[in-house]
A and B are shown apart, each in its own frame.
Chain A
Amino acid sequence: QVQLQPWGAGLLKPSETLSLTCGVSGGSFSGYFWTWLRQSPGKGLEWIGEINHRGSTNYNPSLESRVILSVDSSKNHFSLHLNSVTAADTAVYYCARNLPFSPYYFDSWGQGAPVTVSS
């Protein structure tokens, strides 16, 4: 049973960079897309982007200018960096596993990592 565990800073000031890492254990790291999503009361569930073990990425165009995903396959980790944060980026951030074939669903999720942006 694959498990995902996110960690990172939970309180940021406007204009800072959000950085979260997700560790994967109990399953294969290759052969999947590893995904970041977020959930806020105002915008619901939002897909941020995905990365595979080779570092190939896909991003949500609405966030692409501020997002970088990275991967460390030797440690089974993948990371999210979101720069120039504002209060609108306050949300619970989830890491999840995405099956790399149709119908493209998220079958395993980590616990949520709450992030607050406040001056």
Chain B
Amino acid sequence: DIQMTQSPSSLSASVGDRVTITCRSSQRITNYLNWYQQKPGQAPILLIYGISTLQSGVPSRFSGSGSGTDFTLTISSLQPEDYATYYCQQGYNRPYTFGQGTKLEMK
């Protein structure tokens, strides 16, 4: 299985901050990298697919980048509704696998 490792596991930030979350895969996954946001008690929602394509309705303050095995989710200016847990997921090989999550908390 492809292992997905996120860092940091948790992050404290303030409204307006620029936030970066990193995801590393155990092997090259070309552009098969997707990001999700999950709030407590809710299902994950798709934010970004194919490294950098924003899902419809996702604010433009979210962006994704990277290549090979190293990928990044960036929130350019953190908003109150962005406090959540973020997950990366690889679609390169089955079984599809997720990172362990990065919990974004209020500073």
Q: Flag if B98 contacts A107 (CB, 8 Å).
A: no
Q: Which residues of B sit under 8 angstroms from A60, Cβ to Cβ?
A: 94-95
> Does A58 sit within 8 A of B, measured CB to CB?
yes
The smallest beta-carbon distance between B58 and chain A, in angstroms, is 11
Q: Flag if B91 contacts A109 (CB, 8 Å).
A: no
Q: Roughly how many angstroms separate A21 CA and B101 CA in the complex, as a whole number?
A: 27
Question: Among the listed stretches A7-15, A77-85, A98-106, which one makes contact with chain B, having 4 or more residues with CB under 8 Å of it?
Answer: A98-106
Q: Roughly how many angstroms separate A45 CA and B100 CA in the complex, as a whole number?
A: 8
Starting from the known contacts A60-B94, A60-B95, A102-B91, 16 additional A-B residue pairs (CB-CB under 8 Å) come to A44-B98, A44-B100, A44-B101, A47-B94, A61-B95, A62-B95, A103-B49, A103-B50, A105-B34, A105-B50, A106-B36, A106-B44, A107-B46, A110-B43, A111-B42, A112-B42
3 tightest A-B CB contacts, nearest first: A104-B91, A109-B43, A103-B32
The smallest beta-carbon distance between B33 and chain A, in angstroms, is 7
Q: Roughly how many angstroms separate A107 CA and B45 CA in the complex, as a whole number?
A: 7
- Beyond A105-B89, A105-B91, whether A45 also contacts B98 by CB under 8 A is yes
> Does A34 sit within 8 A of B, measured CB to CB?
no
10 A/B residue pairs, CB under 8 Å, sorted by A: A45-B89, A60-B94, A60-B95, A94-B44, A103-B32, A103-B91, A104-B96, A106-B34, A106-B44, A106-B89
Count of chain A residues near B, Cβ 8 A: 20
The smallest beta-carbon distance between B14 and chain A, in angstroms, is 27
8 A Cβ contacts from A59-111 to B: 60-62, 94, 96, 102-107, 109-111
Q: Which residues of B sit under 8 angstroms from A61, Cβ to Cβ?
A: 95
Chain B residue at minimal CB-CB distance from A107: B46
The smallest beta-carbon distance between B30 and chain A, in angstroms, is 8
Q: Flag if B44 contacts A45 (CB, 8 Å).
A: yes
> Does B55 sit within 8 A of A, measured CB to CB?
yes
Q: Which residues of B sit under 8 angstroms from A109, Cβ to Cβ?
A: 43-45
Q: Flag if B31 contacts A102 (CB, 8 Å).
A: yes
Chain B residue at minimal CB-CB distance from A94: B43
